[in-house]
Structure 1
Amino acid sequence: MKKSLVIVSLLALGTASPFAHAYKAGDFIVRAGAAKVDPDIGDSHVSSTATGKVAGSSVDVSDDTQLGLTFGYMLTDHVGVELLAATPFKHSVSVKGLPAGLNGKLATIEQLPPTVTLQYFPLDSSSKWQPYVGAGINYTTFFNEELTDGRKAQGFSHLDREDSWGLALQAGVDYMLTDRVVLNAAVWRIGIDSQATARHPALGKVKVSVEIDPWVYMVGIGYKF
């Protein structure tokens, strides 16, 4: 009798409490995890008032990993909007292909890349797996630019970097651990085209132009409200 009651109870629970729907209109989803910015350098070069564009010159920007945060809102059961945020990323900027003594690390910079994407979730909301794709716009702001001590000794000064607007593409997947908690993995491809300037007594105004165009990878955990 006791075994029968247990079996009946389990069947009743299974019938009355199916897995809750993953997402529906009006849901908020907050995700946090490790986010890595991995620059994929496109066109880059160095130029100055005295020399013009330096043939064969190029720029390199290091990667960095920080705390990533995303804030999502479901407009419908299948369409959402999301903001990507993070703690500041710090990068080293190096130059190559210049005359002897001018190559190597130029400066360090910090940046924040807030990105807004419109997302599409194709699967039924009853699925524990929720892949999605998105497209949107990025605004990257640079700050705390600092020339290396070696560059300052060479006479470089007044480093400044322009902020950037660009398009962003995204793909990701959520796995519903419970009806509230999710595991998440996502990747963005962001268009960042920036230009840094500095001053030098002999070279005049020096410009460092670079298409950073990074891949941004994030793995974390989220919670649905």
Structure 2
Amino acid sequence: MKLQSLVLATATALTMTTAFAVPAGSWTVAAGAHYVDPKSDNGNVTIGTTNYTVDVDGDVRPTISGEYFIANNVGVELLAAIPFHHDFTLTDANGGEITGRTQHLPPTLSLQYHFDGYNLPMNVKPFVGVGVNYTTFFKEKLNNDLGLELKLDDSVGVAGHIGLDIPFAPTESLRIDARYMDIKTDATVVDGTGVNYELGEIDISPWVYGVAFVKQF
């Protein structure tokens, strides 16, 4: 429902006519930091005959994005970051745990609409966007004595974006934003003989909260 609301808001915005502050052909660059907050209940996996619930921790890292305006107030944005690090815990029915960690990169491409002409307090400029997220996992590790190696498949999913730009100079702003990313990955372990065992799907699907400095060119 949260993602559907973001998509609906984007579709509505793209049909509205307002005065514009960001003309077609402009660029913006935003540099800041984002916190990836995975959803609760990240799924279940099975190792051998034992079922485990999955819990994935959050992480914060520096990010950078660039946006090109293809029309007045309508931009295409690409978000990039240095690798996020996540610890996770697998817990069985008896309270036994296996811990692990992974890194991932979540580049996200979005089509965005920036509202203007509403004379909001502090000249705030809201925006909404929708796009696609590609997440690649690497350096996966299970902390276990079973000789098992973990592999997580890459993920492709829908992403939503909403935020505010707060201007403090003609071409400079402070941005506060939130993104929803549909991130699901199939987990596999490889034993000491090289045999693969499919564990199941891990559903991370985080909200991503951030702040950034934005410069318009």
Q: What is the TM-score of this pair, normalised by structure 2?
A: 0.81
The equivalent residue for 1:195 is 186
Distance of 1:96 and 1:147 partners within structure 2: 13
Percent identity among equivalent residues? 34
Q: How many residues align?
A: 194
C-alpha distance in 1 between matches for 2:94 and 2:197: 17
Q: Which one-letter code corresponds to 1:85 in the other structure? A: A
Aligned to 1:132: 127
Taking structure 1 as the reference length, the TM-score comes to 0.78
Q: 1:41·1:211 contact (CA, 8 Å) conserved in 2?
A: no
Q: How does 1:1-225 map to 2 (within 5 A)?
A: 22-42=21-41, 44-48=43-47, 50-51=48-49, 54=51, 57-98=52-93, 101=96, 103-105=97-99, 107-124=100-117, 128-148=123-143, 151=144, 153=145, 155-200=146-191, 205=197, 207-225=199-217
Query: 5+ residue gaps in structure 2?
Result: 1-19
The answer to whether the 8 Å contact 2:41/2:54 transfers is no
CA distance in 1, matches of 2:41, 2:135: 17
Q: Which amino acid aligns with 1:37?
A: V
Letter of the 2:165 partner, please give it: D
Alignment deviations for residues 116-135 of structure 1 (CA, whole Å, 9 cap, x no partner): 11111222398732100000
The CA distance in 2 between the partners of 1:76 and 1:114, in whole Å, is 23
RMSD, aligned α-carbons: 2.3
Max Rg structure: 1
The answer to whether the 8 A contact 2:98-2:142 is kept is: no
Point out 4+ residue stretches in structure 1 off by more than 4 angstroms: 98-101
